[in-house]
Each structure stands twice: as C-alpha cells, then as structure tokens.
Amino acid sequence: MGNRAPTLEDVAREAGVSRATVSRVVNGVRNVAPEIQRSVRDAIDRIGYTPNQAARSLVTRRTGTVALVLSATGRSFTARVFSDPFFGRVVDGVLPVLRRREIQPVLLVAESEQARAQLVEYLRQGGADGALVVPLDEDDPLPSMLLVAGLPTVLFGRPREGERCGYVDLDNPAGARLAAEHLWTTGRRRPAAIAAPVTAPTAGERLDGFRDALAAHGVTSVPVVRGRYTVDSGRRAMARLLKDHPDLDAVFAANDLMAQGACQYLREQGVSVPGTVAVVGFDDSVAARKARPQLTTVRQPVERMAAAMATLLVEQLDGTRTEPASEVFAPVLVVRESA
C-alpha cells in the first residue's frame, strides 16, 4: 500500500469478504453475521483502516456525535456549573458509554431564550444525532422544544407532565426520608432544612420527603431556608437558621455543597458537629468527603445514572428502542462523621 491510507478494498481483501460487506460493518448495518463482523474488524485493526467520517455520515445519515446539554433559565447558571461537582460526574458517566460506540460528545450550554433557539436549530440542521439534557430548572422549556422538533432526547430528571421523553431519575423523596429517619433514630428532635431553590427540579421532592417522614413522628413544623446549591449559600442559610432557631439540633441540606457550608459556619460559631447539631447532605459528591467533619449524606449514583441516560439515547438512535424509556435509581444513606 506504500504511503497511501488503507481503503475499504484493502480491508475486504484482508478479511476475504466483499467491499459491500465491509461497508455494512463499518456503517453499523445490523444484518451481518457476528463472525464476519469480527473478521472485518480484525482486518481493520491489522491494516490500520480509518473510516472517512464524512462519507460514513452520507450513508448512515448520522454524525457520530451527541450533544450533552446543560440548560438553565436562572442567573446563577455559570456559577453553579463550574462549582458543583455534579456536572463533572455526569460527564464521567456518559463518556465510557459513548466511547464504546465510537460516539463523540459535544458539550452545549443553553442559558437564555436565544441560546435555546440556536441550540435547537443547530441540532435540527444535523449538528448532532441526539441530545442528553441536564435541566437545572423545573420550568426549563428546552426539553419540550427538542421534542417538538422531533429530536431524540433523554433527560437527567423526570420530564414535565405531558412530555413523552426518555429519562433517568433518582427516587428523591425516598432519599430525603432516609435522611429524616436517620436523624430521628439518632435522637434528633428539632431538625431544620436548607432547601434547594424553588425552581430546581428536585427541590419539592427532597423537602417534601423530609417533612413527610418527620410528620409521621409528630414533627409538624420544620424550619426551612432556601440556598442556591453553593457552599456560600449554605453558610448564609445556616446563619439564618441558627439565629432564628438557636435550639435546633439537626440540619438536612438538599446538596452536599450547602451541607458543607453549614458545617463551616457551625464550626466558626463554636457549635459542635455532630455533638450539638447533626448535618446530613445529599448526593455523596466529593464535597461530602472534603467537608470537615465528613458528611453523612444520601448517595445519588450520578455516574451510573448518566451512563444509563447515554445508553437509552444510543438505543433510541440504533432503533433498538422505539418508545421512550426510563430508569429510576434507589438512594442509599452513607453514614459518616457529621451525623
């Protein structure tokens, strides 16, 4: 072959099959026997053939990419994306699934009405084969826009009522109940909560689950201050709670960063954690292990959830799933020093 790049014909000769068979294997056509597929792929590896992506796209009408979309309608979009370890965990979960299928992720952000419209048009024009969407706000219109445009879409979190869309989610009320039951069984009787912003998709589920579990034990009033998913907002929320309810003995925070901020403020005020006030977070992120003391928290298996999200989209693109599918994961309480 000299210095020229290997071709389909070279692969066909090496594997002892026709050029058409090699083309079907390269382009993912499903009616090729497994042993022939293996023979062709072995030949590809031996001679170093690399498919021409442009030509391949003409045949398959696929770009070989999917969009990983971070979408929000609030002002704190950038601050949260770059401060919350949650988003890095989503990427860690998605990548291995896509790599195995030789699919490249394209990171897109949609932080405004204009950005959302541009993103939808980009995908409609063939910029990517589908979208993995992580909405930050409950009323985010982007998922609906993608569905109306007929674009394959899978969400991290449940879609709004009436939207037929694949998704993965956590049983958030069950996770909050785990936190409440743990605090109750360890003798805490005056709990408070640092809740998520009202616009967050999981805000109501986590707060309601916590309240409902305590109500079953006769606790009818739980002080609540809302944070913004950041360490600083957790500190501010804890300061307000401690000022208004100096006798509180436990705090449940809707994510680990806010719980970490609560612990920082309590320590600075000379309040022992967990001696005087127990603290429970949510997510089991790296922030839970970096906090001092280390956080008791509700584990959300973000990497597994993100991998499942990517798998659902790939199956939709391959035609192995014809209807939107979903998977809901169970939370686990991880007990550490803070409670």
Cβ-count burial 99-126 (b if 16+ within 10 Å, e if not): eeeebebeebebbeeebbeebbeebeee
157: amino acid identity, one letter: G
Q: What is the pLDDT of residue 61?
A: 53
Q: How far is CA 1 from the centre of its chain?
A: 46
74: amino acid identity, one letter: G
Q: What is the pLDDT of residue 58?
A: 40
Contact 327, 154 (CB under 8 A): no
Instruction: Report the C-alpha gap between 339 and 201 in whole angstroms.
Output: 26
pTM here is 0.76
Successive 10-residue mean pLDDT values, the chain, 339 residues: 71 86 71 83 81 49 79 64 78 90 86 86 85 84 86 88 87 97 96 91 92 95 93 96 96 96 95 96 91 94 94 85 85 95
Compute CA distances 285 → 11, 170, 334, whole Å. Answer: 47, 15, 11
Contact 141, 110 (CB under 8 A): no
- Which residue in the block uniquely carries the two structure tokens 């034990």? 217
Coil, helix or strand at residue 265: helix
Q: Where are the alpha helices (DSSP H) in 216-300?
A: 231-244, 256-268, 286-290
Cβ neighbours of residue 95 under 8 Å, at least 6 residues apart?
Answer: 105
Pairing label, strands 65-71, 131-135:
parallel
